[in-house]
Structure 1
Amino acid sequence: MPTSKKPAADHPGYAQQCPVGRSLDIVGDRWALLIVRDAFDGLRRFGEFRDNLGVARNILADRLKKLTDAGILDSVPASDGSAYLEYVLTKKGEALLPVVIGLRQWGEQHLFAPGEAHSKLVESKTGKTLPRMQPMGGDGKPLTASQVEVKKAPAKRAPGRPKKSGQ
């Protein structure tokens, strides 16, 4: 599997201590996450992404470059031996699967009327609809938002600033 090309420090927003903020710097754009979704669906070539998304060529080229630079996608020679490049998910990109599934399931639950037709995400081996993703506690029981909290990282001192006495 291809690997990341640039460390996270090379991306905008790196100074943020929030993992959500740093992640959105890379995949928070509409087209970026739709490209990742389509890569999970097996699309690999520039033209396939363009045709499926209906996105302008310049925007698609920019997002593919950003995703490649971030180590989400890797560009490789075409599998059929042609002169084209193909874009494949790296391990880092494949790790976005729970994000895509979670967003999809949220959309299914909140953005479609009851009975309204939409595509379904199923397990390829069984054809069964995937169960809802749910954070679980150490005891294996589902957690609600009120049972989860964010522990902030300690504030960093400015470089070259001495420690306060007692630290």
Structure 2
Amino acid sequence: MKRTSLTGALCPVARALDVIGDWWSLLIVRDAFDGICRFSAFQQNLGIARGMLSTRLHALVEAGILTLAPASDGSAYKEYVLTPQGRALFPVIVALRQWGEDHLYAPGEPRSVLVDTRTDAPVARLDVRARDGRPLDWTETAVRGR
């Protein structure tokens, strides 16, 4: 099936999904946050076909999420590194992780945990807040300017 581009959509969610909406792209970004930076390591960790991985990495570089850099160990390899735009996806990955923890695991089922490296304590829950700091529920928000 041919994909429809959402680059001209008025909705920022649609435009974001146009860039990072497929699961492979988000899993590549997740792995980049976990320190994976080489093609072979992405492929091994994800179990993704080489052609599919190459296509997704190219698209993420084109979108400005990743950049290619010389290998940090001085070898002839190239590494995929998150750009500032890519690093700005961290709260998105954390939100997806927390949603998955809340809704996709049975009580007591083992899972990985995102921790603060300074304290080794689990990361606090994300929430949406008003400019004045009070927590907001979805029923207290609206989209304007359509």
Please state which band the TM-score falls in when normalised by the shorter chain: over 0.9
Q: Does 1:50 align with 2:68?
A: no
How far 1:138 moved relative to its partner?
2.5
State the distance in 2 between where 1:59 and 1:95 align: 24
**Which residue does the alignment assign to 2:119?**
126
Give the number of equivalent residue pairs: 142
Q: In structure 2, give the amino acid aligned to 1:113.
A: A
Q: Give the 3-state SS of the residue equivalent to 2:143 in structure 1.
A: coil
Q: Does 1:94 align with 2:84?
A: no
Percent of residue pairs bearing the same amino acid type: 53
TM-score by length of 1: 0.83
How far 1:140 moved relative to its partner?
1.4
How far 1:139 moved relative to its partner?
2.7
**Which residue does the alignment assign to 1:26?**
19
Q: Which runs of 5+ in 2 are unaligned?
A: none
Q: In structure 1, give the amino acid aligned to 2:119.
A: T
Please tell me the root mean square deviation across aligned C-alpha atoms, in Å.
0.9
**Which residue does the alignment assign to 1:110?**
103
**Which residue does the alignment assign to 1:7?**
none
Q: Which runs of 5+ in 1 are unaligned?
A: 1-11, 154-167
- Which is greater in Rg? 1
Deviates most, 132-141 or 48-57: 132-141
Higher relative contact order (CA 8 A, sep 6+): 1
TM-score by length of 2: 0.94
**Where in structure 1 do 4 or more consecutive aligned residues deviate above 4 Å?**
none
State the distance in 1 between where 2:145 and 2:26 align: 27
